[in-house]
Homo-oligomer: A and B are copies of this chain.
Amino acid sequence: MTPPLRRVTQRDIARMAGVSQATVSLVLNNRTDADVRIAPETRDRVLRVIAETGYAADPVARRLAARFNRIIGVFTYEPAFPSGSRDFFHPFLLGIEEYAERVGCDLLLFTSAPVVDGRRRIFHQDNRLRLADGCILLGREIDGAELHRLNRDGFPYVAVGRRDDAGGAVPYVGADYAAAVARLVELALRRGHRRLTYVGMGMTAESSQDRRRGFVAASATAESARQVSAVATAADATLDDLLADGSTAAFVEDFATAVALESAARRRGLTVPGDLSIVTLGDPTVPVPTDIAFTGFHIPREEMGRQAGEVLTGVIDGSAAGSQQRLLPCELVEGDTLGTPDPAVDRR
């Protein structure tokens, strides 16, 4: 009654069926090429033995011998699950999982990546990237040097979010922030706003650059359109600045900053959007409690995850060399925070 210590291999199957190991492999892979033929009776015999023993090919050996593994690697620059990033990563993972399930792939989360300077690194002493056929990269900012290395090594990958070239074009599935922000700016202009302010975070991430680009491009006809940087903790200072400038609409990159700004305005007896319009440029990335329905846009995160899977598959098998960079449209959200500026008040 001792369970078999050694697992069943093709050799065992072969012995039982009275054929060679190669034959078992051929039957298993359903090879019916012109130059490989197996008699139906032999095939059936082998299949019967396989069924009886419950044999399943060792995926590791299979991977070593052949090219592919049907494993999609997922690399998150921050831990995937902890609640801080929860709302940020979850929709992506949902889409990725759906895709993986559909095409019969497993998902490998590279949790073994060591943390250096507060963020995970793809390449390290003992990186295990090659366990997967390819890899989906998630993270607000992705290290350019690591993208270079991926390109150089020819390792298939795709970034979620648009990325600048890094020693070659970077395959990505991003959201079209520039277009979304531009549409919001146009909407504000149509409603009579003439002094607009973009309240941003940093300049490094591509997602920030794209939003700013959209803002600048669309606000050409505005009387004044400028950009300031803000930290979420200094909402009062930001508000002062907006009022001093006479801006009637704030385009706020970070959702939490928008919430803080609205609170600050309310504390001063100002109304939104009566005295100041506030537009958000993306969904919350961390849980922020608020009752306000902000005007802004929705990032199709789930769909981005799904399509990242598709693009990765294309990169892996070398097909679709063209459409390896996709920008998905964002859906505008008509909330309550973009109004009409009061023409009676000269805000300059």
The answer, yes or no, to whether A93 is at the interface (CB within 8 Å) is yes
Closest residue of chain B to A2 (Cβ to Cβ) is B154
- Do B106 and A108 have beta carbons less than 8 Å apart? yes
- Do B3 and A154 have beta carbons less than 8 Å apart? yes
What number of copies of this chain does the assembly contain? 2
The answer, yes or no, to whether A172 is at the interface (CB within 8 Å) is no
Q: Quick one: which of A66-102 are within 8 Å of B by CB?
A: 69-71, 79-83, 86, 90, 93-94, 97-98, 100-101
- Do A60 and B63 have beta carbons less than 8 Å apart? yes
The answer, yes or no, to whether A105 is at the interface (CB within 8 Å) is yes
- Do A61 and B64 have beta carbons less than 8 Å apart? yes
Measured CB to CB, the closest approach of chain B to A184, in angstroms, equals 27
Measured CB to CB, the closest approach of chain B to A276, in angstroms, equals 31
Closest residue of chain B to A109 (Cβ to Cβ) is B107
Query: Which residues does chain B contribute within 8 Å of A104, judged by CB atoms?
Result: 112, 114
- Do A101 and B111 have beta carbons less than 8 Å apart? yes
Closest residue of chain B to A167 (Cβ to Cβ) is B3
- Do A107 and B108 have beta carbons less than 8 Å apart? yes
Number of interface residues of A (CB under 8 A): 51
Query: Which residues does chain B contribute within 8 Å of A33, judged by CB atoms?
Result: none
- A 1-18 to B, binary, CB cutoff 8 A, 1 in contact else 0: 001010100000000000
Measured CB to CB, the closest approach of chain B to A44, in angstroms, equals 16
Q: Quick one: which of A85-139 are within 8 Å of B by CB?
A: 86, 90, 93-94, 97-98, 100-101, 104-112, 114, 123, 125-131
With A3-B152, A60-B63 known, 13 other A-B pairs at CB within 8 A are: A5-B154, A56-B128, A58-B64, A59-B130, A61-B64, A64-B64, A79-B97, A79-B98, A82-B94, A105-B111, A106-B108, A106-B111, A107-B111
Residues of A within 8 A of B (CB): 3, 5, 7, 54, 56-61, 63-64, 69-71, 79-83, 86, 90, 93-94, 97-98, 100-101, 104-112, 114, 123, 125-131, 149, 151-154
